[in-house]
Structure 1
Amino acid sequence: MEMAFERTVRTIGLSHGRAIRFLAESINESVRVAKSSGIDAANAVARRSDGTKFDSIDSSDVEVSISFRISDPSDLGTFRSTNNFQIELGIRGNSLVDSSRSGLPSVAEILLHEQIGWAISSLGHFADYAYKVTSAVDTFELRTALFVVLLDGEGNPQLAPEDFRWDRLITRGRSARPLKLPPARENQSLRERIISRGDTVPVDGSVGVGANTDDQIWVQQVFTRVITSATRSPDAQDFHIKFTRVSIIEEVQIEFVYSMYDRGARERRNHGLRVNGPSLRKKLVEDSGNGRPEFAAEIVLRSLSPMTNSYYRAPVVDGISWVSMP
């Protein structure tokens, strides 16, 4: 028996065939670019089709707006491969009869089967591995529906690791959970796998857990990720970081000396941060069970912020406000 979302997919193909195929090809192209040139280049492609509009299948007074982007999920879960990325697809209903206080269209309801129909139509063959991210907020507030597909470094879709942090993908997502979209009927192997073993992948033996990684290698991975992230696209931030000294001491301690600059290129005071790698690693594992270098790098990046309260109590040595962590 044909299910409601399958009828919706068929109707979308008949009503919006050319436009939805263009959107699906844009997603495919972005994935290809992400593989060869990185996420920033992929999102330049994604922006060309940002906010593509369609008439709702079920409601004559609702317009469907679909956007997508490519992002890095490496700090959200423990993967079996490296260089993973993800497709984030947003589907929003815009009312054609009501406006918000700002004059923009009010958010309108799109029924679940239609949301899934648009997601499958947009994602094409990636849809078999797609998840809808939901939370308790969705039961009493209308907002953009989010669908996620995880891919390995070659652009192949994959199931999510069991420790994936869905709550960090949406605002007020403390109760976030995944709803696995049904794979196509033709994909019997994936259907049987989900029925027999569930819709996530165990993390035992996965790349990134870090249990068997030497401290020296772990520290180097954290160091590299911090430098890369802290200096990326400074014009898109309220401030950017200029490092004056970065070093790894005795292979296990990271030391940063840096200045912060706001958009007007005004220099803020100099800061220093010392990170004891093994101690930080142990604390993260004890506190959260997450000792991955990606997660540690995120924690260190937060500590680089000039708004960190501890800097106002930090000792100043030779004009540098020093903080140690953990």
Structure 2
Amino acid sequence: MDELPAERLVRQITERHGRELDAHRSEINEQLADFRAHGRLPSAARRLPNISARSFEAEDIELDLAIGVREVAQFGSINPDNPTLVASVAIGAARTPADGSRRVRVYLSAGEEEAWARAALGPLWADYAYRVFAVRNLVDVYPRFFLVLVDDLGRPTLAPDDFDWVRAGVGGTTAYPQKLAPMNDAALRSRLDRDGDVLPAADVTCGLSSVSRSTWGLQVLSTLADELALATQRSHRTYVEEGCQLDGEALTVRYRWHNRRIDANQHFGIRVPLESFRADLVQRFGSDHPTRAGRLIERVMNEQGGWEDGEIIDGTSWTELPPQT
């Protein structure tokens, strides 16, 4: 089976920086052992030195990668009988101009950020990890964060659905998670498809959320955009957006898939009436979590059948979600 671009990049990072990353993971495991022995992390927890490296995609970009661990019992519905901590990977990057002037902070591509996080966490933890988006990243260039919850034996777990991502270390005022797609654990992939990306917390109300339809639509669109940005890294096709509209009533996306193997372009469109889609999510999953909604839309777009299976309008094959009966 051909190696996907995302897998290839993780392998390349591991081959070049594996010794440094292994040393950081060993240090984190020692801190987990301290926590297991004493019920808390050392008051002066050892701060791991950042890993500095050059981007694999742009030679003029250098990145700093910071790995750490902290206690999170106060950040959500954590089972007191199962001590839980959070391991974090923070990625910052800067470009050095050709004229030698002051470095400019920039972001790596979403695909390379994810690859570095996966390589840093290792395959077991990476399958349970979340990319965490902070609103402050929209207005300025701050480090990107990836978090995974682990117990004191280093066993990873999904986050509770009331987890406070901001207080857990991301910063800013608002943040939301996006689950990384498991690359290794097929059972976890099935579980996520069936039950969603987070664990239900006892004090979280199920059903339709209180946010307005327009706000919910923006949250869904943000998740969808992030998922599609990574789609090329996860397959042999390239996603190309041709138009996107969110009018408060529905989300409409026109796009095409370019298959890099057969050099073919297929034009598609998807329309998602927000009200009926939210109701469908509540009926199927018990809540209208926007992260799940965005991932479901991306999956439908990615797995859409033959071009001729949709309603053909002006050369574009259209579908609607939820499907009309």
Distance verdict in 2 for CA 1:41–1:106, change over 3 Å: farther
Q: Could you say what secondary structure the match of 1:6 adopts?
A: helix
Task: Give identity over the alignment, percent.
Answer: 28
User: 2 CA distance for matches of 1:98 and 1:34?
Assistant: 47
Tell me by how many angstroms 1:89 deviates. 1.7
Instruction: Write the mapping of 1:107-186 to structure 2, written as runs, cut at 5 A.
Output: 107-124=105-122, 125-168=124-167, 169-174=169-174, 176-185=175-184
Q: Could you say what secondary structure the match of 2:73 adopts?
A: coil
- One-letter amino acid of the counterpart of residue 97, structure 1: P
User: 2 CA distance for matches of 1:179 and 1:42?
Assistant: 31
Residues 43 and 70, structure 1, Cα contact 8 Å, conserved in 2: no
Residues 80 and 203, structure 1, Cα contact 8 Å, conserved in 2: no
Match of 1:92 in 2: 92
Q: Could you say what secondary structure the match of 1:36 adopts?
A: helix
User: 2 CA distance for matches of 1:123 and 1:136?
Assistant: 24
Which structure 2 segments of 5+ residues have no match? 205-325
Match of 2:196 in 1: 198
Match of 2:249 in 1: none
- One-letter amino acid of the counterpart of residue 131, structure 1: Y
Tell me by how many angstroms 1:108 deviates. 2.2
Match of 2:57 in 1: 58
Tell me by how many angstroms 1:10 deviates. 1.2
Residues 30 and 43, structure 1, Cα contact 8 Å, conserved in 2: no
- One-letter amino acid of the counterpart of residue 29, structure 1: E
The alignment yields a C-alpha RMSD, in angstroms, of 2.9
Tell me by how many angstroms 1:42 deviates. 8.6
Q: Flag the structure with larger Rg.
A: 1
User: 2 CA distance for matches of 1:42 and 1:68?
Assistant: 18
- Partner deviation per Cα, 1:205-263 (whole Å, 9 max, x = no partner): 99xxxxxxxxxxxxxxxxxxxxxxxxxxxxxxxxxxxxxxxxxxxxxxxxxxxxxxxxx
Tell me by how many angstroms 1:136 deviates. 3.3
Distance verdict in 2 for CA 1:73–1:44, change over 3 Å: closer
**Normalising by structure 2, what TM-score?**
0.55
Distance verdict in 2 for CA 1:43–1:7, change over 3 Å: farther
Match of 1:18 in 2: 19
- Partner deviation per Cα, 1:74-118 (whole Å, 9 max, x = no partner): 11110234432111221111333389x9x7x43222111111111
Residues 88 and 149, structure 1, Cα contact 8 Å, conserved in 2: yes
- One-letter amino acid of the counterpart of residue 135, structure 1: A
Further displaced range: 35-44 or 83-92: 35-44
Which structure 1 segments of 5+ residues have no match? 207-326
Further displaced range: 13-22 or 123-132: 13-22
Tell me by how many angstroms 1:39 deviates. 4.8
Instruction: Write the mapping of 1:236-275 to structure 2, written as runs, cut at 5 A.
Output: none
Tell me by how many angstroms 1:50 deviates. 1.8
**Normalising by structure 1, what TM-score?**
0.55
Q: Could you say what secondary structure the match of 1:138 adopts?
A: helix
User: 2 CA distance for matches of 1:2 and 1:80?
Assistant: 39
Tell me how many residue pairs correspond in the alignment. 200
- Partner deviation per Cα, 1:271-312 (whole Å, 9 max, x = no partner): xxxxxxxxxxxxxxxxxxxxxxxxxxxxxxxxxxxxxxxxxx
User: 2 CA distance for matches of 1:144 and 1:172?
Assistant: 12
